[in-house]
Amino acid sequence: MDKRKLLIADDSELNRAILANMLEQDYDIIEVTGGEETLAALQTYRGEISALLLDIVMPGMGGFEVLEEMRSRHWLDDVPTIMISAETGNAYIDRAFSLGASDYISRPFAPVVVRHRIINTILLHTKKQQLMDVAEGWFRRQEKNSEVLVSVLCYGMERRVGETGLHMKGVGKLTALLLRQLLRRTDRYRLSADDIEMIAMAARLHDIGKLLVPSEVLKKPTPLTDEEMAQVRQHTRLGVQIVTGLPLYQNETLIKYAVAICRSHHERWRGEGYPDGLVGDAIPIVAQVVSLADSYDALTSERSYKPAYPHEKAMQMIHAGECGSFNPLLLDCLDDISELVRQGVAERNNAQNSEVHRTVEELYGGQDVMAARMTHQIEVASAKQEYFSSLTDELWFEYTVQPSAISLSHGACDQTGLPAVIVDPQSNSDFIDAVGGETVRALRDRLDSLSSDETHIELMADIMLGGRLRRCRITMLVIRALSSAGVGCSRLVGKVDDINDSYARLEEYDRESENEVTEQVLLPVTVGAGDVLRIAHDQVGAVMQCYRKMFAIVRLVDPGICMQVSAGAGVHHIEHSEHCYSVWNKSHRCENCISQEAIRTSKTQSKVETDGGEVYYVLASRVEIDGIPYSLECVNPIRSAAAEAESDESLLGQLLIRNRQVYIDSMTQVFNRRYYDERIRNLTGEQAIAMIDIDNFKHINDTFGHPAGDEALRSVAQTVRFMLRSRDELIRYGGDEFFLLFHGLPEYNLQSKLNQICEAVREIRLPKYPDLHLSISIGGVYAAGRISELIRKADIALYEAKIKRDRAVVFGISDSSAASGNND
């Protein structure tokens, strides 16, 4: 699982290093040196940063200014901010808290105190957000419940009077649109957003009086008689009786709006309406708006006595006065929103589907506000997943426990012939036939025995792929959920790899290797490019037995399927293990799988592994058997049983000394070229790197002598290393050139970091050589790719920097041009 991100903003390299060393085990640290960089980082990592540690005094924009900007952008609600400073005065502390800081920590730092206060701040902020979400969710559910009840009432009433069931909702929506546009045109009416919402809700009750009008009159398809028309017109007064007859809530604003709308929504601007014949502004403005909305929606809706008219004809009829006269200002408002209203009519034609979609979204958002905020991100991620799935033939799946269902990738569907989604797969005969009942039972048993800290499962299974039974490896990620029964598996995301051919070859090697090997065997090895051994399949047993004379354990790894050579009386035996990591008593893959790396890079890899109280040295080389790549693992103990009493600290010290002798440059005490070649050059990903060259180094040797050159190398290396964080790596690449790798440094911070390094080197003074002034040129690159490829771009940037001298030139990921910074 990814660590939470902490943003440390402090212009002091030492202070950042101290905090980073305290916290990097628990958090992913992002470092910035100024206020502007802090805001940029908050914008870049928006939604990912758990807390901000903010220094008060920084060059340019200080900590208090950053707080003010965060408050204006409403970022303090999402990012708890802890001020860090040597200042202990009440004025500083009061101002920090008044601006919205969550805590205030004074230097010098106490590691335990700092860690616990950060954890408590994050937990408190998380609980606060959860409580706010719960409260907001409760209110949204209440609003939704009210909406549902009103919709049911309106729907029942409209069905009784023979309308479509959407008229009242349409009137409410158009009422809200007209009111908002009216407030844009004039400030005469003092209506708030809450008022508009209540008026729109009350507008849906405008025809509630029709409940007391005989339905046969309302549904009559022919013109009404005068007596019948008089009955219909009574619905305005009857509506008021219904609303005012409610024993409760008579003092509520919503009821007052409803009364005005029910009684006056058939009044007209010039007085030709009913029931009171009101004229002009004597008609309540809410009734005027609902009157216009009611007329438009009635014209564009189907009735028992007329078809639905299109938007253009409805607008023409309203302006021509065929529905009576209306307030000219409201007619202008209707014209302003004409296109929006037209779209509303089009949407209403697809009302069934869109209504279901909106209801689901609203209910989902009401129950889990935090999840609703992530809906867009989830939709984007799902779209990406669907797209990339369609581009690959890989077999992957996702299984949910509740409800029990499995979804398959395009490749899995093609290979198995199964549908993309299977509900309750454990009872689906086609699914059982494809994957095998034994596989399902083995997975169920594995899940039942899963410990709380296990997140990965691997199984070997025989699965029907392409109509043939194939040996497969199933790798799964376990996703857990908290329930009343505790933390359990809620979902499995997995991949199926067809290893049938590799497995069959290893079994063949096993059979051929069972014969005794008693005579001396010469290794039939052809050494090619890199550290690759090439042999024929009938020579596997002999080769492994020879290696067994030098190593305690010899294994041929796929990786995933293993053969292990064990000792015997003049013979050797091949033992199968379903998982290569089981030899170390592990339940999941090694984090540092050197066999996989050896196969990928064709370079011999090494590591130290532990098993109980024993420590082992492991070598892995690529071996090709009839052209098919495997890893040959050779293992020897580096601590014997007789030395078990030796302390772990002593052993670790010996390993560190050995590692230092191999990878540390004796002159500069930074990493050497061998470290780059073996550990760095093949790294891939998004990287921030730099090449450093000491300016006029040949001139320094020629003028001041080689001892001065050596001193310059040491001083530059140690100065640069002092400017770095603990996780960054400085390597003497060759001569007076150094290679620099930043881990997790944001792109926007690379240029300023390299500028600081140039400045620091310029300040170096060598007491033995007072006339010697040092400077460096740096070529930096922030890009995605393999280090060995990116270093070429860094060389180009360094070349440009050397031309300008004493510069840091950076090529960024977002453009192809160089951005240079002058350090004068």
Give pLDDT tens digits for 54-74.
999 888 888 999 999 999 888
pLDDT at 325: 94
Highest average pLDDT, of 14-28, 54-68, 455-469, comes from: 54-68
Length of the chain measured in residues: 824
CB of 686 closer than 8 Å to CB of 746: no
Is position 198 within any domain?
yes
Number of Cα atoms under 13 Å in the Cβ half of residue 710: 7
- Report the SS3 class of residue 165: coil
Name all contacts of 569-575 with Cβ < 8 Å and 24+ positions apart: 570/516, 570/518, 571/516, 571/517, 572/513, 572/517, 572/541, 572/544, 572/545, 572/548, 573/514, 574/509, 574/510, 574/513, 574/514, 574/541
CB of 615 closer than 8 Å to CB of 639: yes
pLDDT at 569: 42
pLDDT tens digits, one per residue of 187-246? 888 888 888 988 988 888 888 888 888 888 877 778 888 888 888 899 999 988 888 877
Q: Calculate the alpha carbon distances from 228 to 215, 255, 266, 673 in Å.
A: 11, 29, 17, 100
- How many domains does one find in the chain? 5
- Mean pLDDT, the chain, rounded, equals 78
The residue-averaged pLDDT of 464-469 equals 89
Q: Does residue 620 have a pLDDT over 70?
A: yes
Examine the fold and report which residue of 648, 681, 698 is the final residue of a domain before the chain moves on.
648
pTM (2 d.p.): 0.36
Query: Kind of pairing, strands 532-535 and 421-423?
Result: unpaired
CATH number at residue 256: 1.10.3210.10
491 and 531 in a single domain? The answer is: no
pLDDT tens digits, one per residue of 290-336? 999 999 988 988 776 678 889 999 999 999 999 999 999 999 999 99
pLDDT at 282: 92
Q: What are the beta bridge partners of residue 405?
A: 400, 423
Least confident interval from 522-536, 547-561, 692-706, 715-729: 522-536
Sign of the torsion angle spanned by Cα atoms 641, 645, 648, 652: negative
Is position 140 within any domain?
no
28 and 167 in a single domain? The answer is: no
CB of 49 closer than 8 Å to CB of 80: no
Is position 406 within any domain?
yes
pLDDT at 346: 63
454 and 353 in a single domain? The answer is: no
698 and 628 in a single domain? The answer is: no
541 and 494 in a single domain? The answer is: no
Q: Give the range of the structural domain holding residue 600, as residue numbers without chain letter.
A: 517-648
Buried-exposed string 470-506: b where 16+ CB fall within 10 A, e elsewhere: bbbbbbbebeeeeeeeeeebeebebbbebbbebbebb
CATH number at residue 701: 3.30.70.270
Is position 284 within any domain?
yes
88 and 230 in a single domain? The answer is: no
pLDDT tens digits, one per residue of 170-204? 888 899 999 999 999 998 888 888 889 889 888 88
Is position 375 within any domain?
no
Contacts of 50 by beta carbon, 8 Å cutoff, 6+ apart: 4, 5, 6, 27, 79, 80, 122
| Residue 716, both tokens | 């530059």
Report how far residue 42's alpha carbon sits from residue 748's, in angstroms, rounded to the nearest whole number.
12
Q: Report which of 780, 695, 782, 690 is spatially closest to residue 738, judged by C-alpha positions.
A: 690
Examine the fold and report which residue of 317, 350, 365 is the final residue of a domain before the chain moves on.
365
329 and 401 in a single domain? The answer is: no
**What does DSSP assign to residue 626?**
T
Report how far residue 275's alpha carbon sits from residue 267's, in angstroms, rounded to the nearest whole number.
7
| Residue 677, both tokens | 């070649």
173 and 123 in a single domain? The answer is: no
pLDDT tens digits, one per residue of 790-804? 999 999 989 888 887
pLDDT at 529: 40
Buried-exposed string 82-105: b where 16+ CB fall within 10 A, e elsewhere: bbbbeeeeeebbebbeebebbbbb
336 and 262 in a single domain? The answer is: yes
Is position 612 within any domain?
yes
671 and 707 in a single domain? The answer is: yes
- Report the SS3 class of residue 462: strand
Q: Calculate the alpha carbon distances from 222 to 161, 199, 219 in Å.
A: 15, 34, 9
Is position 606 within any domain?
yes
Highest average pLDDT, of 128-142, 609-623, 639-653, 681-695, comes from: 681-695
pLDDT at 780: 92
Report how far residue 424's alpha carbon sits from residue 416's, in angstroms, rounded to the nearest whole number.
17
Least confident interval from 86-95, 159-168, 274-283, 728-737: 159-168
719 and 807 in a single domain? The answer is: yes
Report how far residue 591's alpha carbon sits from residue 799's, in angstroms, rounded to the nearest whole number.
39
Is position 117 within any domain?
yes
237 and 330 in a single domain? The answer is: yes
The residue-averaged pLDDT of 41-56 equals 86
The residue-averaged pLDDT of 341-349 equals 70
Where residue 612 falls among pLDDT bands split at 50, 70, 90?
low
pLDDT tens digits, one per residue of 636-664? 886 543 444 444 444 444 444 545 556 78
CATH number at residue 474: 3.30.450.20
